[in-house]
Structure 1
Amino acid sequence: MIREQATDKRTLKTIRHDADLIVVGGGVSGVCGALTAARAGIRVVLVQDRPVLGGNASSEVRLWVLGATSHMGNNNRWAREGGVIDELLLENWYRNPEGNPLIFDTILLEKVISEPNITLLLNTAVYEVEKDPTNHDRIRQLKAFCSQNGTLYDLVAPLFCDASGDGIVGFQAGAAFRMGAESGDEFNEKFAPSAEYGELLGHSLYFYTKDTGRPVRFVPPAYALDDITKIPRYRRFNAQEYGCQLWWIEYGGRLDTVHDTEQIKWELWKVVYGVWNYIKNSGQFPEAANLTLEWVGQIPGKRESRRFEGDYILRQQDIVEQREHPDAVAFGGWSIDLHPADGVFSEKPGCNQWHSKGIYQIPYRCLYSRNVSNLFLAGRLISASHVAFGSSRVMGTSAHVGQAVGMAAALCVRDGLNPRDLSETSRIASLQQKLLKTGQHIPGLRLHDEQDLTHRAQLTASSEFVLTSLPPDGPLVQLAQPAAQMLPLPAGPIPRLTAWVTADEDTVLTVELRKSSKPDNHTPDVTLKTLSISLKKGKQEIPLAFDAHLHQASYIFVCFLKNDAVQLQYSLRKATGLLSVFNKTNPAVSNYGKQEPTEDIGVDTFEFWCPERRPKGHNLALTIEPGVRLFEAENVRNGLQRPTNQPNAWVAAPTDTRPTLTLRWPERKAISRVELFFDSDYDHPLESVIMIHPETASPFCVREYVLCNDRNERVFHQTENHQSRNVIRFAQPLDTTSLSVHLEAMNGDALASLLEIRVYE
């Protein structure tokens, strides 16, 4: 029993935490930053003001994690973000293909609490920033409060990261920030919005439904919106869509999206319950009779508030022109996606999305405050204009940025630096290489690791895939929409190709040979040759003699234009770096087959050629002569861990019953660590909630493999792999002159492949 005498005043319990880095904000950006920093060896305190991690991706908001892949609705091929966010999404795919947001919560929590270098403080809000009294541009400590345990925290570190969304740390620290839209003149951004469109994106609040198996009535609360016609797009509501499929239930862009959040939430509650009243009681949705509300969000998902200024401000031209930056540490690829400030009450479309032709670099100079010397920026509040923010704000991109910050913090701690110090040319190269080692893709960069023994080894493979054919063993599909096969080719003449078609009548088929104007892009915006091929009724082979030449290695697109009288023959063969794409629409990301701005807003006109989701999406059947030899074993040490302008993978031949890669050294090595990178299908967006995935792992990913020493003794055996990156650490160094990797089984029916191997003493 505790009993205390009456007193004038008591103070709350206070706990002090000292760390190398304090990360404020437990959304996916803060989580990925904290995990990256902790794994790099520094002590991290992760502070989250909610009971779970994930921010907008958590079960409290339930928005899917998306980034450059854009629901497979743009031309960014193999563009899913790598590193820690890839690890999290692959784990969610494996455990949670149904997209249950509660399961995603558990994965994030499990990963964080499993890291011994992370101290996690949930339900803890930062309320005060203390500056260094002798250096006013520097944060000394934060004060935070946990309402659940009635405890105050003093959080002390040399470095801080604000990943809080609204920028609670940066704001109180006096960091320069912006809120609202810049004029078009400031950065010459032609897409800068008008005052009539509005300067801020609003908040959204979602609901989930449940079929009870019997009729359920609904009596709306008194505050529910009573006139559904106040929502101009009310006819779009239906009984099937729920959760973030209704992302356009948005409000608040005319208000202060920080301080008016409670007011915005109440307005969104009114809308949600009014919408449900309309669905249940208008009589227009009899299919909703057995449905009940299972969940309604208690806090809104925020899109935009403060954006803090770094040494560089990302802008529209960086995205559209895909400008190169010497300090690139991450990438984006979501469309420039601005929403009308009036949200659900606007007469305008719910979003205004314009895509670039490929992914774009994000410079490190956007990831720290220009005037608070020890403050990193991560998530949606990084240094970007309002227009560029329309793309960089999404969670996959934010997570990628968070990883860059986490690694940068580790290097700053190691070398006693401030964030800006790391932007120097010699130091930024070190950061970039550290990130590439973890699987973080940075467009245009390759890994160069002098410590990797792979570069001193003789490399042999049991076989190498030569692309001479995609056999005609798949379905026949009507050419109801233009279809294309992407083929990687070296510089030189285009090989002779043959396709199989079946014509329902005599007709003329148009086939185009295209490529991208930039070798690392996958937008087929340059037509090299056009063939008009006369077909007779029936099944036939058609030679495709393109008299053309590639000046540099890249993907070509063999495009079959729409012809309803023709059926194309497809192949069942799957291999890393091979993909079919279609000139189709995806209204969810403003893809209507072609992007055509009607006025000069600083974006390009081009077509969308996108893949089908599995189990659809077979390659087109083709023969290729001479065969393409771009799947060699040498690719595993070329410094790239995903297809770009080439497959960048060793792929075994279809007849190879036990694919094996062997590294041999002229002298004995004491191997302590091996890192392997497998193909987890970077084209798949892996939406974290709602979307139901047909598999639990990539069919291109090796499920089972064995490592053997020079005596052919098994030294490691993995049986249930579904991750891109595998790190094998030996308790005792492996004394050997060779290392063999045996690819025993795949997660699907793709040819066995390996993207990278690195070996360390």
Structure 2
Amino acid sequence: MIKQNFNEAARENKKQQLNTQFVVAGGGLAGTCAAISAARGGSKVVLIQDRPVLGGNASSEVRLWALGATSHMGNNNRWSREGGVIDEIMLDNLKLNRHGNPLIFDTILLDKVIAEKNITLLLNTSVVDVNKQHSTKIASVEAFCSQNSTHYIISAPLFCDATGDGLVAFNAGAGFRIGAESKAEFGELLASDEENMELLGHTLFFYSKKMDQPISYKAPDFAYSYEQIEAIPRCKDIAGSDSGCKFWWIEFGGIRDTIYETEDIKWELWKLVYGIWDYIKNSGRFDDVENLTLEWVGTIPGKRESRRFEGEYMIKQQDIIEQTQFNDAVSFGGWAIDIHPAEGIYSERPPCSQYHSKGVYQIPYRCFVSRDIENLYYAGRIISATHMAFGSTRVMITCAHGGQAVGAAAAMCNKLNITPKELLQPEHIAQLQQNLNLNGQSIPGIRLDKHNNLAAQASITASSELAFNGFQPSGRRMQLDSSCAQLVAFAKGQGPTISITVFAHKETELTCQLRTSIKHENYTPDVINKTISLSVTAGESTLEFDFSNCSLEMQYGFICFLQNSDMELATTEQLITGTMVVFNKVHKAVSNKGKQTVPENSGLEEFEFWTPARRPNGQNLAIGISPAIHNHQATQIINGFVRPWLQTNAWVADLADPSPTLRLAWPEKVTMRQIVLYFDSDFDHALETVLMEHNEDQVPYCVQTYTIKTDSGEVIAHVTGNYQSINKIDLVEPITTQHLILEFAHPSKNVPAALFEIQIK
């Protein structure tokens, strides 16, 4: 029993002092990935999250699908899904939660964090104050947990603000911006002539569910009537069958203070959401809604924009559109510059304007480093970006990708006893980039260094190497209702001759083009190398298109067949690493109308979109290619790239090979402690976390079963059921051998075994 008498003085809550090496404030995807990355890099981390779960806008409290450069597979960013920690999380979610249950995604994030022994997780804990060692250095942060009534004082040499509103940075006195810059300040032609306070607003989602009986609904008194809802211009977009993120356009707050008026904004959104549901259920304007019930309504809004903090560099519109190359690149983005009218749902304008780049863009380390506070990093939507650039960098998987770069950087700073700005020394940045890429970051254009890889010192042979001469037909055909293209990696030299079996409903003409990209690393087919049109008689026939007089660079090319609804093209069930079919089609979810049109003098480019279809659709075309393309050699596994980039960058076995095997032989015995394999998890596939359901629980390209052994037959590892991009085999005891044998099983009869990279140390 505890009994205390009256105290004249006010009592204090329990206080607890924590000393660590890295404090991450904010447990959204950016903060979560920063904490995991730093912990794996050897730093002790305290992760402070003011909510009961992790994930921020991706959590069950908000339920927004998490996306980044893949952009619902609606842009020209091929094989652009973010790698590293966030890729690991997304693939776990696909395996365990392909139906997109937000509660399960919560548990996946929690599992990831508590598995890291270097992380102390404080949930329901809000940072309330910052203590400075001196004007430009944080000594500690103070936080309060509402559930255990404990006041924490947490000290560390390094801090990361991933709170979304920048609570730590703000209290530390760091410079920040709210609103939009003028056109003149950074030369951003898409910006307004004058700076302004227009922001992106908040959104509250809701879920509906169909029951087996009619369900009545009476709106709460605070909800807007359906007459009021009907008067809102944007509400013409309501569909009775929509749910969750599809109501992203229920947005409000951009003309208010999105920090201090958030509770007022929430109430306005509640009035709208419950009023919209009343309108759906009771207005009589929608069919088949009698059995629908309101299953869930968010209690906290998803925030888009508030403060942006000033770092050592501020990324801008031109960096995104022109794909600026940075010496200190540590991350990448690829979502459109996505700007919404500040009035949100009450605006007469379209709910968003999305303008895409022709490919992914780099984000430099300096955007994550505070200009003013020497031991503070930024992660998430508060990084150093203009309002225009923020329209792209703000999305969650881009934030997560940057967060894991911050975590790796912090771990390096702790090991080297240096500050975040001192890490900008070229030799340190180069090491940071290598550390990140070893963990799957795939910073565009930066390959892994061979010098520390024992595999690069070996002679590598394979039981087979795919000579790509096309795909075997499945007996099925695809109607050419929209233009489509087979995307293939070409070596430098002459173009191929393409053959394909077609079926014509009547006498017609089929046009085939060989296209490439102006920027060799892009996947926007903006160069037409050659056009061939052939007459086709009714019925089935085989056509040849000779592009041998075209001169090609080492890059991806598009074998384009232009739209003709009277034609059907033969397809295949085969899937081969580094190839896919894309379509010139509309994708409304990301403002893709088949072609990007832009305002005059906006600094933006017009170009066509050629995008894939989601499995089980989007079969490859059963084309023949002559001469065969030899870009799947065994030596690809030490070329330093872990995904397609200019080339496939993968060893691919022949499908006819019954036992795909790689053999590594060294001139003399070597001692190894770790083997890391990089598999194909289809980096083109957008793995939306919630609401959208996926047709598969693991990627069909990925090797699931393999064995690693020495030439004496000693089994080092035998793995089954793999679905992850990266497999790290840490050896309990070092192995000394002169030969290493890797035996793989094909993922399926239509998918050959493939490996991007092997790292041995």
TM-score by length of 1: 0.98
Distance across 2 between alignment mates of 1:625 and 1:473: 20
Cα displacement string for residues 465-488 of structure 1 (whole angstroms, at most 9, x for unaligned residues): 001121222521111100111111
Give the root-mean-square deviation of aligned CA atoms. Answer: 1.2
Cα displacement string for residues 397-429 of structure 1 (whole angstroms, at most 9, x for unaligned residues): 000100110000011101111111111212111
Q: Post-superposition shift, 1:712?
A: 2.1
- Which amino acid in 2 is paired with 1:425? P
Cα separation, partners in 2 of 1:551 and 1:545, compared to 1, 3 Å: closer
Which runs of structure 2 are paired with 1:161-560 in the superposition (5 Å)?
161-193=160-192, 199-226=198-225, 227-560=228-561
Q: Post-superposition shift, 1:311?
A: 1.1
Distance across 1 between alignment mates of 2:446 and 2:438: 12
Distance across 2 between alignment mates of 1:56 and 1:232: 26
Q: Post-superposition shift, 1:337?
A: 0.1
Distance across 2 between alignment mates of 1:462 and 1:550: 32
Distance across 1 between alignment mates of 2:601 and 2:549: 34
Distance across 2 between alignment mates of 1:195 and 1:218: 47
Distance across 1 between alignment mates of 2:476 and 2:611: 19
Determine whether 1:149 maps to 2:148: yes
Distance across 2 between alignment mates of 1:524 and 1:225: 48
- Which amino acid in 2 is paired with 1:192? A
Cα displacement string for residues 300-336 of structure 1 (whole angstroms, at most 9, x for unaligned residues): 0000000000111000000000011111000000000
Determine whether 1:26 maps to 2:35: no
More off after superposition, 419-428 vs 122-131: 419-428
Q: Post-superposition shift, 1:747?
A: 6.5
More off after superposition, 429-438 vs 7-16: 7-16
Distance across 2 between alignment mates of 1:210 and 1:94: 24
Q: Contact 2:61/2:299 (CA < 8 Å) preserved in 1?
A: yes
Q: Contact 1:366/1:382 (CA < 8 Å) preserved in 2?
A: yes
Q: Post-superposition shift, 1:713?
A: 2.7
Cα displacement string for residues 438-459 of structure 1 (whole angstroms, at most 9, x for unaligned residues): 0001111101042211011110
Determine whether 1:5 maps to 2:5: yes
SS in 1 for 2:274: helix
Distance across 2 between alignment mates of 1:727 and 1:202: 42
Cα displacement string for residues 477-532 of structure 1 (whole angstroms, at most 9, x for unaligned residues): 11110011111111100022111111111111111110011111000001011111
Q: Which residue number corresponds to residue 129 of structure 1?
A: 130
Distance across 1 between alignment mates of 2:371 and 2:717: 48
SS in 2 for 1:287: coil
Distance across 1 between alignment mates of 2:475 and 2:140: 63
- Which amino acid in 2 is paired with 1:7? N
Q: Contact 2:514/2:559 (CA < 8 Å) preserved in 1?
A: yes
Cα separation, partners in 2 of 1:548 and 1:318, compared to 1, 3 Å: farther
More off after superposition, 85-94 vs 280-289: 280-289
Q: Contact 2:68/2:397 (CA < 8 Å) preserved in 1?
A: yes
- Which amino acid in 1 is paired with 2:674? R
- Which amino acid in 2 is paired with 1:353? Q
Q: Which residue number corresponds to residue 746 of structure 1?
A: 747
SS in 2 for 1:218: coil
Determine whether 1:98 maps to 2:99: yes
SS in 2 for 1:703: coil
Distance across 2 between alignment mates of 1:494 and 1:567: 24
Q: Contact 2:143/2:152 (CA < 8 Å) preserved in 1?
A: yes
Sequence identity of aligned pairs in percent?
51
Distance across 2 between alignment mates of 1:45 and 1:642: 33
More off after superposition, 737-746 vs 328-337: 737-746
Q: Contact 1:529/1:548 (CA < 8 Å) preserved in 2?
A: no
Cα displacement string for residues 664-720 of structure 1 (whole angstroms, at most 9, x for unaligned residues): 112222221110110000000100001110101110001111111121232211111
Q: Which residue number corresponds to residue 593 of structure 2?
A: 592
- Which amino acid in 1 is paired with 2:162? A
Q: Which residue number corresponds to residue 712 of structure 2?
A: 711
Q: Post-superposition shift, 1:649?
A: 0.5
Cα separation, partners in 2 of 1:290 and 1:58, compared to 1, 3 Å: same
Cα separation, partners in 2 of 1:185 and 1:601, compared to 1, 3 Å: same
Q: Contact 2:181/2:195 (CA < 8 Å) preserved in 1?
A: no
Q: Post-superposition shift, 1:286?
A: 3.4
Cα separation, partners in 2 of 1:195 and 1:188, compared to 1, 3 Å: closer
Distance across 1 between alignment mates of 2:252 and 2:161: 25
Q: Post-superposition shift, 1:212?
A: 2.0
Q: Contact 2:497/2:548 (CA < 8 Å) preserved in 1?
A: no
Cα displacement string for residues 193-238 of structure 1 (whole angstroms, at most 9, x for unaligned residues): 4779962000000001112211111110011012112320212212
- Which amino acid in 1 is paired with 2:747? M
- Which amino acid in 1 is paired with 2:506? E
Cα displacement string for residues 520-562 of structure 1 (whole angstroms, at most 9, x for unaligned residues): 1000001011111111111111111124434520011111111
SS in 2 for 1:349: coil
Q: Contact 1:490/1:550 (CA < 8 Å) preserved in 2?
A: no
SS in 1 for 2:421: helix
Distance across 1 between alignment mates of 2:336 and 2:650: 29
Cα displacement string for residues 620-673 of structure 1 (whole angstroms, at most 9, x for unaligned residues): 111111100001111111000001111110000010111111111122222211
Q: Contact 2:223/2:274 (CA < 8 Å) preserved in 1?
A: yes
Q: Contact 1:705/1:745 (CA < 8 Å) preserved in 2?
A: no
SS in 1 for 2:273: helix
Q: Which residue number corresponds to residue 138 of structure 1?
A: 137
Q: Which runs of 5+ in 2 are unaligned?
A: none
Q: Which residue number corresponds to residue 37 of structure 2?
A: 36
Distance across 2 between alignment mates of 1:124 and 1:314: 32
Q: Contact 2:746/2:752 (CA < 8 Å) preserved in 1?
A: no
- Which amino acid in 2 is paired with 1:505? K
SS in 1 for 2:189: coil
More off after superposition, 300-309 vs 471-480: 471-480
Distance across 1 between alignment mates of 2:146 and 2:312: 37
Q: Which residue number corresponds to residue 645 of structure 2?
A: 644
Distance across 2 between alignment mates of 1:638 and 1:363: 24
Give the aligned length.
Answer: 758
Distance across 2 between alignment mates of 1:262 and 1:90: 35
Q: Contact 2:255/2:342 (CA < 8 Å) preserved in 1?
A: yes
SS in 2 for 1:102: helix
Distance across 2 between alignment mates of 1:192 and 1:223: 38
SS in 2 for 1:419: coil
Distance across 2 between alignment mates of 1:11 and 1:197: 44
Distance across 2 between alignment mates of 1:333 and 1:708: 40
Q: Contact 2:180/2:195 (CA < 8 Å) preserved in 1?
A: no
Cα separation, partners in 2 of 1:196 and 1:288, compared to 1, 3 Å: farther
Q: Post-superposition shift, 1:745?
A: 4.4
SS in 2 for 1:344: helix
More off after superposition, 590-599 vs 157-166: 590-599
Distance across 1 between alignment mates of 2:450 and 2:654: 29
Q: Post-superposition shift, 1:738?
A: 1.3
Cα displacement string for residues 76-111 of structure 1 (whole angstroms, at most 9, x for unaligned residues): 000000000000000000000000000000000001
Distance across 2 between alignment mates of 1:382 and 1:96: 31
- Which amino acid in 2 is paired with 1:347? E
Distance across 2 between alignment mates of 1:78 and 1:452: 25
Distance across 2 between alignment mates of 1:244 and 1:202: 15
Q: Which residue number corresponds to residue 73 of structure 1?
A: 74
Q: Contact 1:479/1:567 (CA < 8 Å) preserved in 2?
A: yes
Distance across 2 between alignment mates of 1:644 and 1:240: 40
SS in 1 for 2:705: strand
